[in-house]
Structure 1
Amino acid sequence: MHRLFTYLIALVWLANGLLCKVLLLVPRHAAIVARILGPTHATTLTRLIGVGEIGMAVWVLSGIKARWCAWTQIALILSMNTLEAVLAPDLLLWGRANAVFAALFCGFIYLHSLRPPQLAAS
């Protein structure tokens, strides 16, 4: 089960990075980047963010410094979603309700990677 959950977390990063941002299959992502960082280089910046998300997927799968990886994911998810909710809520798939899905994903990452060992044995 642990391996499956690792793959699922990595798949979220890979799909968002590759499909939504690098390949620009979801134009809303570039529009959000343009709103937050400006339109001049929005396409390039969106693709770079996507490459970073693909890198996160690789890090998740590698298992290297898994706790650091989990905390980094949680920090990125919360900061990205906060910026988007404040600066571009009208461009989000579910508006400010995206925060609910972000919190659930962070909770899943926490339970998968950071829960205390005594809970893991239960």
Structure 2
Amino acid sequence: MHRLILYCIALVWLANGLLCKVLALVPRHEAIVARILGPAHAGVLTRLIGLSEIGMALWVVSQIQRRWCALAQIGLILSMNLLEAWLAPDLLLWGHANAVFAALFCLLIYWHTFTAARLSPR
């Protein structure tokens, strides 16, 4: 179960990075980046963010510095969602309710890394 959750967390980063941003299958993501960082380079910046998210997926799966990885994920998720809710709430899939899903994902990452890991045999 521990590995399954690990791969699901990585899959969220991979799907958002590769499908939504690098391959631009969800144009709303580029619109959000344009709103927050400006339209001039929104396409390039969106793809760079996507590549970073793919990198995060690889970091999650590698389990190198698991706690730092979890803290980085939580920090990124909370800061991204705060910026989006403040500057582009009309572009979010669920509006301000996105914060609920972000918080639940952060709780899952925290629990998986700091609680469940101690309970799971290696």
Q: TM-score, normalised by structure 1?
A: 0.95
Distance in 2 between residues matched to 1:98 and 1:114, nearest whole Å: 24
SS in 2 for 1:115: helix
| 2:19 aligned residue | 19
Distance in 1 between residues matched to 2:32 and 2:76, nearest whole Å: 16
The answer on whether the counterparts of 2:17 and 2:53 sit within 8 Å (CA) in structure 1 is yes
| 1:34 aligned residue | 34
| 1:66 aligned residue | 66
| 1:8 aligned residue | 8
After the TM superposition, which segments of 4 or more aligned residues of structure 1 sit over 2 Å from their partners?
115-118
- Gaps in structure 1 of 5+ consecutive residues: none
Give the letter for the 1:65 counterpart.
Answer: Q
Distance in 1 between residues matched to 2:115 and 2:41, nearest whole Å: 40
Q: TM-score, normalised by structure 2?
A: 0.95
- Gaps in structure 2 of 5+ consecutive residues: none
| 2:46 aligned residue | 46
- Post-superposition shift, 1:58? 0.1
| 2:112 aligned residue | 112
Aligned length: 120
| 1:101 aligned residue | 101
The answer on whether the counterparts of 2:21 and 2:29 sit within 8 Å (CA) in structure 1 is yes
Distance in 1 between residues matched to 2:48 and 2:81, nearest whole Å: 18
